[in-house]
Every structure is written in C-alpha cells, then in structure tokens.
Amino acid sequence: MGARKQVDAPPAEFAEAVSQLRGARFRPEVFVEEMPAPQRIAPHAAAVSADVTVDGDDVATGRLVILYDPDGNDAWQSTFRCVAYVRAAVEPEMVTDALLGGVGWTWLMEALADRGADFLAPSGTVTRVVSESFGGMADDDATAEIEIRASWSPVPGPGGNVDVTRHAEAWGEVLCTAAGLPPVPPGVVAMPTRRGQRGR
C-alpha cells in the first residue's frame, strides 16, 4: 500500500505549484474555488474558477488551469503552462471600438509584468460578443461581453522553481480590470483566497 501511494503521488514540482496556486491572494470582490482540471492535455493539471461580484452582481468570471509535463513540451518551451479564461460584461458601445481586442490583451501582459511573472510563448484571443433581444424579449437591453482566452509558460526563477502565485494573481488582476474595478491603491494588501463561501 505504501509503494502504491508513492507511485500515485504527484511530482514534488507540481505539488509545490498547486500549493502556490492555493495560496494566491485576490481582491475581496473575487471568489475563487478549485474545480476539476482537464485530464488529457497534460500528465498533471490543477484548476480554479473565479467570479467577481460587485454589489451582489457577478460582473466577471474566469478559469485558470496549471498544466505540468515533467518531460517538457516543445510548444510550451517549458514543463509548465498556464491556460486562462476571462469573461466580463462591458458597455455595448465599447464593442464597436476596434482597439478593444488589443486593450484586452494588454491587460494580461501588463498584469503579468506588474507581478514580476516572467513568461514565454504567450498565445491567445480576445473576443467581443453582443447580444440583442427580439420578439417577446424586445424590451431587454442589449448586452455585451469581452472574452480573453490565453496561455503562456511561466519562467522558473533563480532557484529553478516556477512561482505560480505570481501568475495566478496576475490572472486575478485581469479579472478585476475587465470587470471595471479601479486599481488597488498602493499599500493595500489583497485578501487570501476565499473558498467554500460567498459571504460578503
């Protein structure tokens, strides 16, 4: 039984990454919880989902998946890969702005830079969606959303280990930016991840 447990244990490098993911800190508007991770993309994976809530309304949602392949992956240029998704409501008139896609991508690049989260091989898309209602729903206002789908490979630090915390917190920052929340003032400390409750 002991030998089986040892065989099934995740690699120490991945276990440390999961611990860092769980220890990431986010703004109090961000509710984060663990979710099942995809099983066929990489030998090891962990995932969290998040909702950004303001005055009782969910204004943004997202997912972050951490993939790990101890043998490395040529496309990743690394043993680790972060896969992120962010969706937030925006004003319908913003969707017609041709620069919105580039702005959404810049949110991610700047958040990673602000957190000191070095990375390789970034890839992704920014999608704008407008929904209009007709017939019996014609009185409903038009709605618009921005969706950011991105992946990147964390670069190990001086000690050779990947700091997943920085990358997770950068994703949380993008969620808040997409939701239209103002930046946190300097010196204000983010709260620990909330799990299992939505009390605010």
Q: What is the pLDDT of residues 15-66, one digit of tens each?
A: 999 999 999 999 999 999 999 999 889 999 999 999 999 888 889 999 999 9
The rounded mean pLDDT for the chain is 84
Q: pLDDT grade, residue 185 (50/70/90)? A: low
Residue 180, pLDDT above cutoff 80: yes
**Domain boundaries along the sequence of the chain:** 12-179
CB 91 within 8 A of CB 144: yes
Q: How far, in Å, CA of 174 to CA of 61, rounded?
A: 11
How do residues 102-113 score in pLDDT, each as one tens digit? Answer: 889 999 999 999
Q: How far, in Å, CA of 157 to CA of 23, rounded?
A: 18
Q: How far, in Å, CA of 164 to CA of 100, rounded?
A: 28
* The predicted structure's pLDDT at residue 6: 42
* The predicted structure's pLDDT at residue 67: 97
Residue 153, pLDDT above cutoff 80: yes
Integer Rg of the chain from CA: 18
Percent of the chain with pLDDT over 70: 82
- Worst-scoring range by mean pLDDT, 3-7, 75-79, 190-194? 3-7
* The predicted structure's pLDDT at residue 63: 98
